Amino acid sequence: MTTKHRVAVAYGDGIGPEIMEATLRILQAAEVPLVYDVIEIGEAVYRKGTLSGIPRDAWETIRANRVLLKGPITTPQGGGYKSINVTIRKSMGLFANVRECKSYTPYVPSAYPGINMVIIRENEEDLYAGIEYRQTQEVTQALKIVTRPGAENIIRYAFEYAEAYGRSKVTCMTKDNIMKLSDGLFHKIFDEVATEYPGIRSEHQIIDIGAARVAAMPERLDVIVTLNLYGDILSDIAAQVSGSVGLAGSANIGEDAAMFEAVHGSAPDIAGRGVANPSGLLNGAIQMLVHLGLGSYAETVRNAWLCTLEDGIHTADIYRVGLSEKQATTEAFTDAVIERLGQKPDLLAPASYQNHPIDVTRRTYPTQRKELVGVDVFLDWDEANRDPNVLGKRLEALSVAGLPFATLSNRGVGVYPGGMPETLCTDHWRSRFLSDNGAIHFSQVLELVARLNDAGLDVIKTEHLYNFDGEPGYSLGQGE
């Protein structure tokens, strides 16, 4: 007898209950060996005063089952409510977001009939770490966090995915021509990991031209791996050009837990009317079956769904006069999929999911020699018409032994010595003090900061400058 996996199920808000009911009805009709533990998360829980939207007993079920099938959630505006998606992704270490984007022409119109790409997005880091500050009257700041283990995990996952699903190319997209350290690390690790997968082609594209290609020639792309923010934007572009915002599923995968959902939200505008398309959540559930090693069930369900599209039974969002046969309610669409279980599509490529395990084990890497060689002291300074020469000369005079003043920059542009009068200077300054003779001691940094403070300068933060195996771990200001 097949062992039944237990999965946690959250119906969600808005159209969530309608599309979850449809999805579970199809899985049950396909006799998928699953047991469902229903949890309550989302709007009702927020309203009861739990700011995370997830009560303790729901967490216990999620943690016990390790797999969650989730309907879309409405995050109430304001009031300190936290996004459930972000909370679950981060708390459960779901580092990989996987969105498959396909076109289903001629049944669902798309300008690009050949789209078959997967966007694998880093899910926990980058600007989405949500670490932000306001330090002066004029300046706010968000930290972009890119870590070696984070980048390595997602990049390795992308190659593992490509191998498991018989895909031939992985394209990495970054902006490392500008962010040489953070995006540069991601690109560097991509090049390293790519050598371990010689059977898969690898390439790198700068994100701006990469995004243009996703929009204009998506059929040339296969697997894309990228950082959190770029991936968020790219996956919506990709879903849009494939003509199928309501059709795509989304998987969030961690080392020992996973969450599956639709790409779209809770669609409050059509909630309760029985017209929502359940396909996005169904496709998320199909990704879940593959993840659980139930590939043959995934194939059966997906093929029945493809047959339904081919037979022109379409919900309102994809219904087109002349292309569709019948405009179906959520319930009628669900019945049509169930009727087609066991059939294979004629024109659309039938699904084939072999049960390849994807290795998501975290790797270790060698430690590098780290040396403190300087400090950036950030100042809030709004005197002398913000003339960089005035501040620069003061800072030169305040250097401590072995830690001389090097440069002054404003918004990342070098302004002293040798700046240009046209550069706009805000009240937020970065003064760099760099060793002239190898490693320094932290006490020199403390002495310097005390001296600047005693001189009446408003020190708002410091950033240490380290070399790693002799390589600078800090960027230069533009023009430096």
Query: How far apart, in whole angstroms, are the C-alpha atoms of residue 297 and residue 32?
Result: 6
Q: What are phi and psi of 123, to 5 degrees?
A: -110, -10
**Residues in contact with ligand NAD, total (CB under 6 A)?**
20
Mark the segment that binds ligand NAD (CB under 6 A) among 184-192, 275-283, 344-352, 374-382: 275-283
Mark the segment that binds ligand NAD (CB under 6 A) among 100-108, 222-230, 267-275, 400-408: 267-275
Asked if 270 interacts with ligand NAD (CB under 6 A), we say yes
185-188 contacts: CB < 8 A, separation 24 or more?
185/146, 185/148, 185/151, 186/146, 186/151, 186/155, 186/227
Task: Please give the residues from 59 up to 98 whose contact with ligand NAD meets the rule CB under 6 A.
Answer: 72-75, 85
CB of 85 to ligand NAD, least distance (A): 5
Asked if 404 interacts with ligand NAD (CB under 6 A), we say no
What are the structure tokens assigned to 82, written together?
């936290």
| Torsion sign, CA atoms 448, 449, 450, 456 | positive
Residue 71 or 210: the one with the smaller Cβ distance to ligand NAD is 71
| Pair 285, 23: CB distance under 8 Å | yes
Asked if 203 interacts with ligand NAD (CB under 6 A), we say no
| Pair 249, 302: CB distance under 8 Å | no
Asked if 24 interacts with ligand NAD (CB under 6 A), we say no
Task: Please give the residues from 1 up to 20 whose contact with ligand NAD meets the rule CB under 6 A.
Answer: 15, 19
Asked if 264 interacts with ligand NAD (CB under 6 A), we say yes
Question: How many helices (H) does the chain have, and how many strands (E)?
Answer: 13, 20
- List, in order, residues 6 or more apart from 157 with CB less than 8 Å away: 95, 96, 120, 225, 253, 358, 360
Mark the segment that binds ligand NAD (CB under 6 A) among 225-233, 266-274, 334-342, 372-380: 266-274
List 20, 62, 248, 276, residue binding ligand NAD (CB under 6 A): 276
List 267, 292, 294, 440, residue binding ligand NAD (CB under 6 A): 267
Task: Please give the residues from 234 up to 253 whose contact with ligand NAD meets the rule CB under 6 A.
Answer: 246
List 65, 205, 266, 444, residue binding ligand NAD (CB under 6 A): 266
What are the structure tokens assigned to 162, written together?
């490509």
CB of 318 to ligand NAD, least distance (A): 8
- One-letter identity of residue 255: E
Cα of 373 vs its chain's centroid, Å: 34
Residue 19 or 294: the one with the smaller Cβ distance to ligand NAD is 19
List 53, 280, 388, 392, residue binding ligand NAD (CB under 6 A): 280
CA dihedral (130, 134, 140, 141) in degrees, to 10, reads -40
Q: What are the residues binding ligand NAD (CB under 6 A)?
A: 15, 19, 72-75, 85, 246, 261, 264-270, 276-277, 280, 317
